[in-house]
Structure 1
């Protein structure tokens, strides 16, 4: 990096053709050559804005050539390569400004945390002060009691009260020490609380600081650098917009803006569609579950009725079999009864006939 910086310095002092021999043909300058810094050709190189500050971007690796810049400025703005350089310049500056916005937000969050801590400190001090007041009142009462006991001649009782007073005084001293530290911390936090974040460069400023220090900050390299960079971004952005309107017409420029907005809208719509799809899937699953439950409830009475019919038919079949069995048994008993009756009758006639013969 040091060699590159020295070479650039020699180029500025002696020209970029300082090493060309007298009989050697000098190569003409072409601003499209990759060795030249695009940002320097457009307006300025951001690497030169914050030198020797905490936001120093370092040394630019490209060559800053005034002749190349002059040639670049002479080219019409409608040149596609020149338009591309402008767009790349805006993209690089946008990354720098995004870092600045994050630093500003971080500074505001830090001040907000300090503010919350400062608000919490008085509550703790107030609680300690209340306890200290209670202990002081108790100590005074006990000292009065000890004095009265000593006057009455009750020395042992007075000594016991004084020992209790000593214990309470120790507790009071223990509370007074943190209170002193809290008061010191409170003053420090109050001093830090009186700060604000610079909306231009993100630096922390003391509210109500001396006018000279405020002017030194406003004229500082960091504040001036970011302020100048914002002005250049607005200027080049308008130039790019006008160039695109000349090349493609206002409709194309508006179309690009609409496409950018539509991309954001599509991104939001994708999120909404995901949520909607999830809701639809949930509703479908819920509806299917409810239908299954309804069909299950409808099927239960049918199954029960079917089971009841089967049970009824089974019972009817058993009853029929039982009746048939009883009918068969009754028929069989009647047949046996008829047989016995017929046999008895035959036997009776036979006996009667034998008696008649005799």
Structure 2
């Protein structure tokens, strides 16, 4: 203890790296190291709440470091939530334990309040005796029923009947005790009156005197146990709220990411649709261009064929015209030959 306290004091005055050599590499702080107290990082260490009290947990074996806590507070992620949940589980166990103690204290006060009514006359004693006889009959009957249920193998029913028997026996014992103590002394009545005025603290489970002096009430409210359990309950609520906020934030981030992914997917689908439309348009344009080109080639071919046919027809007409011209000239030469021959024949006849 003393050595650890001295080391903590030196770390606070000279720093945690006081023993590091000049050439030695300084270890970086990491809040996930096992040497650090998880509860101290989240909120506080429960071991520090109940020092020198009945609920003292002893000295915490882990290191408490403010710088590491600052790193933890800045951190985010599932690991941090695990630390917070572990803190809640530890504190909840302690709170549940004090709640059980509070419940037992209430039952004790309730039992004492039942015992405070003591018969002070024979008539009351007689009525109590009659009630005791009735309880004896009921107890005997229930014991027989429980034994029969146990023989039949119905364990749960038998246990329930025996529990009811125990309650009736407890009530019978109270009545017997009242009859045995028919007349209490004044001291006993005073003690009973004081016991009647007790109450249980709803925070730490301690017994308090109703109407006690304000100074004693203030001392109790400022005591380590009362303040410690109050801090535990408050811390559980705060850390639970922090965990829920963290989960809501992560859920919101996941929803935003999902929305962004959906938007990206929609944009991708839309882009594919646009690309498909453009492709179809290009295909149609290419098809139209190809059709136009084919039509143009067909027209050119048809025009070339038509021009060729026209040239052929013109050549044919020209050949016909040439043939007719040749025939005409041939006929003219024949007529001229016949005419010359006829004229020569007339001249020769005339000379004779």
Structure 1 portions without partners, runs of 5+: 131-177, 253-358
| Displacement after TM superposition at 1:236 (Å) | 0.8
Q: What are the within-5 Å matches in structure 2 for residues 241-260 of structure 1?
A: 241-249=244-252
1:126 to 121, 132, 138: 121
| Displacement after TM superposition at 1:45 (Å) | 0.9
2:70: which partner in 1? Answer: 70
Q: Structure 1, residues 265-284: CA drift from partner, whole Å, max 9, x if none? A: xxxxxxxxxxxxxxxxxxxx
1:23: which partner in 2? Answer: 23
Q: Does 1:195 align with 2:190?
A: no
1:215: which partner in 2? Answer: 218
| Displacement after TM superposition at 1:11 (Å) | 3.3
| Displacement after TM superposition at 1:249 (Å) | 4.9
Instruction: Calculate the TM-score normalised by the size of structure 1.
Output: 0.51
Q: What are the within-5 Å matches in structure 2 for residues 138-149 of structure 1?
A: none
1:237 to 237, 240, 261: 240
* In 1, Cα distance between equivalents of 2:64 and 2:185: 57
Distance 1:96 1:126, change over 3 A: same
Q: What are the within-5 Å matches in structure 2 for residues 85-100 of structure 1?
A: 85-100=83-98
Q: Does 1:228 align with 2:231?
A: yes
| Displacement after TM superposition at 1:117 (Å) | 1.9
| Displacement after TM superposition at 1:180 (Å) | 6.8
2:50: which partner in 1? Answer: 50
Distance 1:47 1:195, change over 3 A: same
Structure 2 portions without partners, runs of 5+: 126-180, 256-352
Q: What are the within-5 Å matches in structure 2 for residues 1-358 of structure 1?
A: 3-76=3-76, 79-119=77-117, 122-123=118-119, 125-127=120-122, 182-249=185-252
Tell me if structure 2 keeps the 8 A contact 1:39–1:85: yes
Tell me if structure 2 keeps the 8 A contact 1:4–1:61: no
Secondary structure of residue in 2 paired with 1:213: helix
| Displacement after TM superposition at 1:21 (Å) | 2.9
Tell me if structure 2 keeps the 8 A contact 1:128–1:179: no
| Displacement after TM superposition at 1:37 (Å) | 0.6
| Displacement after TM superposition at 1:241 (Å) | 0.9
Q: Structure 1, residues 236-295: CA drift from partner, whole Å, max 9, x if none? A: 10111111122235999xxxxxxxxxxxxxxxxxxxxxxxxxxxxxxxxxxxxxxxxxxx
Q: Structure 1, residues 179-238: CA drift from partner, whole Å, max 9, x if none? A: 775332221122112111111111111001111111111122211121122112111101
Tell me if structure 2 keeps the 8 A contact 1:5–1:59: no
* In 1, Cα distance between equivalents of 2:218 and 2:12: 33
| Displacement after TM superposition at 1:129 (Å) | 11
Distance 1:60 1:24, change over 3 A: same
Instruction: Calculate the TM-score normalised by the size of structure 2.
Output: 0.52
Tell me if structure 2 keeps the 8 A contact 1:8–1:63: no
Q: Structure 1, residues 49-70: CA drift from partner, whole Å, max 9, x if none? A: 1111111111111100011011
- RMSD (Å) for aligned C-alpha atoms: 2.8
